[in-house]
Amino acid sequence: MAATGQRPERAYHQDYICRVRYENNLPPPPGSLKMLDIPIDGMDYYASPGFASRLHRSQPINIEANAELGMPIDLVGMPGVFDGDESSIQAPLLIPPVHPKDKTLLRPLSELGKPKYQGGGISFLRRTEYISSDTARARAEAAPKSTPRSPGQRLRKPVDTSKDDPVNVLRAAVKGFNIAHPDDAYIGPDTKDNIKGLDSTPAETEAWDNPKHPVRSNLKPLDFYPVLPDLEAVTDAGHYIVTKFTANPTQIIDKRDIRMDVGLLRPGDLSETVYAEYQSKMAAYEADSVNNIHPGAPPVNFHFFLPADETSAVNLSKKLDVDAPDRDDHALYTAQGGDGKGVFQLHHQRVYETWRSTAIDANHAHKEVALALHNPELEERRRNYRLDPQASSSNRSGKAAYYYPIIQKIQLKPHRSKNLAQLGVTARIEDQDDEGKVDAFDVVVEDLDETEKAKRAEHRAELLGEEGETQNGDA
């Protein structure tokens, strides 16, 4: 019997907080359960570690698979695979959209499980204390509405949207030229032909006079080159094409083959089937450029030609060098043509097909360029010290980094169907390139004619920003 003077125990309401960190929300496997006939006597035997291993060995997984394990590798049924067309065994260029039911399976690990909820003032690990909704509400009401700014903290400046104005962008570009050439800076009012650049700060002028590497401040520039167009190397088309082979095109592997410097690539004609397929891809891209990729340049096959020996390659390089002193010597020719005149013979090596092509928009022809550094002092020093006996005196008088615009980049690989036919794997297929195949070329180096001079003069005028230019007689 309890004493009458004892006070009754007071009951306190407590909340139990439990958080599940790992949870498996994946659905059960779709396969049916496999019932095993296991006797139930001897729990110690079934609970031993070796029971599961013996059960795994005695109950193999019943999988009925064919000889190819569900992945046929027979290429006989693939259309066109032995003709060089590998589209049937390649992945599609356009990845199909993911089905809405499959998007759930592509979620990252961080999104699996229940969504994380962080209550007010509750952390995962904390000391034991009484928590209620009234306490959280009181803390929220007691918290300040705004965080005071410290004296050393700076406010973020508002973004000046006027800087994106095209006129201001042009003024910023002109400012860079004014810093580089202050004597030529235009300081007058804005006109149709001239615009005044933005005012430069002392820090910008100091950065131009004493340039520093943005990351490695201990590096110092060794030399400076102005970037200029090479007006003497302007082609008839006004641009260049970069060609890369996927494999070594010659049999020389222990050193550099100098014959590659004067190699010749002759494009072949497209067949009607290939041209029609290319036109259909281009029409699909023009109709819907979102779901169709640009087909690029037409898949043209190229015939590759090289001189027979290194002597012919060296002499042909001298004939092509406008600065070589003996370029007009007819004794440089290593063969004779049908009319008895001197020629260079370039022999056919093999046929290459376009494996990958990247075309650059003609409106942005200077988006990618090749650079060549030219320093007359270094060239003169090399000739004086005989570091390069083949070095010739260039007509370029100024020191500059000359750039050459690139309009297209092509990667070539050997023609597959012809190589297989030569090995006897497939039957010989008459190709459109066989109709006009040439075994050798007789090359003669001559000066430019009037038509070629006019084309190059037009491209020079575009680079100089002039309406016309006097035609010169360079080669």
pLDDT of residue 150: 56
pLDDT of residue 395: 55
pLDDT of residue 92: 73
pLDDT of residue 124: 55
Q: Which two tokens stand for residue 276?
A: 């029609």
Query: C-alpha angle with apex 92: 429 to 286, nearest 5 degrees?
Result: 90
- Which regions in the chain score pLDDT beneath 50? 1-2, 386-393, 425-430, 432, 466-475
pLDDT of residue 473: 38
pLDDT of residue 304: 92
Residue type, position 89, single letter: I
- 346 CB contacts (<8 Å, ≥6 apart)? 262, 263, 264, 305, 306, 307, 440, 441, 443
Residue 41 phi, psi (nearest 5): -90, 140
3-state secondary structure of 391: coil
CA 356 to chain centre: 12
- 11 CB contacts (<8 Å, ≥6 apart)? none
Alpha-carbon distance 122 to 152, whole Å? Answer: 32
DSSP states along 303-315: EEEEESSHHHHHH
Q: Which of 123, 160, 119 is nearest to 140 (CA)?
A: 119
Burial level of 389, CB count in 10 A (0-12/13-18/19+)?
exposed
